[in-house]
Structure 1
Amino acid sequence: MTTTRQAIDVGADATAWIDAHLIELREILATEGVLRLRGLGGAVREFDTITETVTGAAPLEYHGGATPRTRIDRNVYSSTDFPSEYAIDLHSEMAYSRTWPLYLAFCCAKPPRSGGATPLASTVEIAERIPVALAERLRLFGIRYRRAFHPLLGTDWRSAYGVNDEAELVDCAARRGEDVRIDGDVVTSSWTLPAYRDCEGGIESWFNQMVAFNVRTLPSGVREDLLDVVGEDGIPKNTLLGDGSPFPESDIGAVRDAVDATSTAVPWEAGDLTIVDNRRFAHGRQPYTGSREVRVCMTGEGSWA
């Protein structure tokens, strides 16, 4: 099972303490893939700058993401605007994109009344637990991601792609290696990427959003309503095997079992900062009650190329 060391208390002057211990903090992140700090206090407002310093990587804007987020300041966003009563399956941030962040930093300004922990799981440990038959199909075909953009339903394609008209959309999709179809007001796109990422020493890691992106993981009432209105091909986001065949419930369940067997929940206190190597750890969110203010920033850019 994934384990993370206890959060390190940064003391009264968080910024000065971090500067004084920077080499040690970078070593922990490089060795373990997760760094947890506690007691940032007023330095919560500067956590993006702290993250840049610790990771040594440039900040990223959140472009083209499939998760609803609110921009708070500069490159700081709400961790997610997904309704609090639902869990978010563990996933690798933006693994459905050809480029993705190397690091994620989550900072808690206000913890929830209950729940709301962030589960983490080693992507290598998950890969080791995927059933052999499923792993072989995924290595052969990869994962096909599919998005559908409808007026007044979910994210608008203009904001998702950062474009203003259909010509720009087609050009942007082509550069991303996506197949795009425009049918009146409805835009659909699909593309195929690997399920695994090769690490040093020939080790594979589970680097995808096969489950989090899949229609079967939506709350049953929401899923049924969407299917009634737009049909399976019109679901705002979904995953298929790379050959176009749907994932059966058993495949989704097998991946969830592998994740559950390896994950550890990280609870939140005000002033907590957790920096995660996106290549090495998947993350999710547990349901919660009350108001939860966990912010996120991203640094460094990786790619499938």
Structure 2
Amino acid sequence: MTQQNRAKLSLNTLGTTSRKSVKVSQSALIQTSHLLGTSIPLVIQPTVESMDLIAWATSNRETIEALFLQHRALLFRGFKIKSAEQFNQFVQATAQGELLSYRDRSSPRHEVEGKIYTSTDYPAQERIFLHNEGTYWLTYPLKIYFCCLTVAEQGGETPIADTQKVLQRLAPQIRDRFTEKKVLYVRNYNDGFGLTWQTVFQTDDKAVVEDYCRRNAIEFEWKPGDRLRTRQVRDAIAKHPITGELTWFNHAAFFHISTLEPTIRHALLTEFKEEELPQNTYYGDGSEIEPEVLDAIREAYHQETIIFPWQAGDILLLNNMLVAHGRRPYSGARKVLVGMAEPYCHREFNVEE
């Protein structure tokens, strides 16, 4: 299904992007609800114990698409998903085209099956701040899927937040400043902290890295000792290509040094000069983002954060441009997988083909 057809589907089925009820085909097989006190996600559950989610999804793809565009976040619960293979089949049944590879990485992950990855291999005791996937890429997924196969003994939730509402919480002067200046991402690799450039770009060949950077509007600089610095400017506010909604879509707070836990932040600032930090953000013109602005951004995310416990077999489908996700610290075994689908290419930047 092309983006144009998907847009037509959204208009024909929903009328507008405002919240309206959607008539679900084969309604006897599923029931929908919301978690107590939350607007997202919409919870979809089977009414019969033996229901095959993949078969139902294959037959009801347009229904799922309409619900997805209307509600932004769908939680499929109670369908007894137990493997990466089943999760992959569900993603294939509900997404258009091939899944995205995880390149230009910011978090450690490993591939499990056919572009299905662990959600993150980041240490269990650390939290991961809310973000939309790949805002600093030129091509990013419109859909991101999570599947919980093993629930942590404690913690480990995947908090979410409506980033259109995050945008609305920010003062007009903050929105205007980021609209005008955009966001600059600066990353340094192979300084003994964080991911190496070989891991981030999935290659040992510098020429491959340089080619990727040129094609993706990324400035690069090789430093002594096999080290690399990259700089890329991206929009802070994006327009969804199907719904037309404006959304806060960036890693300005996520990558900023001030968002890190105090002990980690202190260790990094003790070890590195600011320009040598593994990652940091600025306004697009290179000027500092004011501390009070970063505080306001983090508070906006906090006010819109929705947290719910995982259940084994859950699949969470998010509209990646409109809903952010994160991770809470946890203890015990935890296995959550991720898949990214339906790439959208942002081409307002001058790139070398």
Same fold by TM-score greater than 0.5: yes
Distance 1:203 1:4 in 2: 18
- The answer to whether 1:135 aligns with 2:175 is yes
Q: Which residue of 2 aligns with 1:299?
A: 341
Q: Which residue of 2 aligns with 1:277?
A: 319
Q: Which residue of 2 aligns with 1:40?
A: 79
Structure 1 residue 129: Cα displacement: 0.9
Q: TM-score, normalised by structure 1?
A: 0.92
- The answer to whether 1:226 aligns with 2:268 is yes
Distance 2:205 2:155 in 1: 42
The alpha-carbon distance between structure 1 residues 7 and 187, as it changes in their structure 2 partners (threshold 3 A), is: same
The alpha-carbon distance between structure 1 residues 9 and 201, as it changes in their structure 2 partners (threshold 3 A), is: closer
Distance 2:206 2:313 in 1: 44
Opposite residue 34 of structure 1, the aligned amino acid is: A
Q: TM-score, normalised by structure 2?
A: 0.81
Deviation readout 1:167-200 (Å, 9 max, x if unpaired): 3333322221111111112211101011000246
Could you tell me which runs of 5 or more consecutive residues in structure 2 were left unpaired when the two chains were aligned: 1-37, 348-353
Distance 1:249 1:32 in 2: 33
Specify the SS of the correspondent of 2:317.
strand
Whether the 8 Å contact between 2:184 and 2:232 is mirrored in structure 1 is yes
Distance 1:183 1:51 in 2: 41
Structure 1 residue 43: Cα displacement: 5.0
- The answer to whether 1:118 aligns with 2:158 is yes
CA RMSD of aligned residues (A): 2.0
* Range with greater deviation from structure 2 (179-188 or 39-48): 39-48
- The answer to whether 1:243 aligns with 2:279 is no
Deviation readout 1:232-288 (Å, 9 max, x if unpaired): 111111111112122232122101111122221132010000111111111111222
Identity of aligned residues (%): 27
* Range with greater deviation from structure 2 (282-291 or 87-96): 282-291
Q: Which residue of 1 aligns with 2:125?
A: 85
Structure 1 residue 3: Cα displacement: 2.7
Deviation readout 1:8-47 (Å, 9 max, x if unpaired): 2374333334344444322211221112111332553321
Q: Which residue of 1 aligns with 2:257?
A: 215
- The answer to whether 1:259 aligns with 2:298 is no
Q: Which residue of 2 aligns with 1:73?
A: 113
Opposite residue 26 of structure 1, the aligned amino acid is: E
Q: Which residue of 1 aligns with 2:40?
A: 3
Question: Across the two proteins, how many residue pairs are aligned to each other?
Answer: 305
Structure 1 residue 141: Cα displacement: 0.6
Structure 1 residue 227: Cα displacement: 1.8
Q: Which residue of 2 aligns with 1:288?
A: 330
Distance 2:309 2:69 in 1: 22
Deviation readout 1:123-173 (Å, 9 max, x if unpaired): 211111112222121111100011100254322212322443333333322
With CA pairs under 8 Å and 6+ residues apart, which has the higher RCO, 1 or 2?
1
Larger radius of gyration: 2
Structure 1 residue 7: Cα displacement: 4.1
Structure 1 residue 201: Cα displacement: 7.5
Whether the 8 Å contact between 1:196 and 1:206 is mirrored in structure 2 is yes
The alpha-carbon distance between structure 1 residues 203 and 276, as it changes in their structure 2 partners (threshold 3 A), is: closer
Whether the 8 Å contact between 2:75 and 2:317 is mirrored in structure 1 is yes
2:91 to 51, 61, 64: 51
The alpha-carbon distance between structure 1 residues 31 and 246, as it changes in their structure 2 partners (threshold 3 A), is: same
Opposite residue 330 of structure 2, the aligned amino acid is: Y
The alpha-carbon distance between structure 1 residues 150 and 260, as it changes in their structure 2 partners (threshold 3 A), is: same
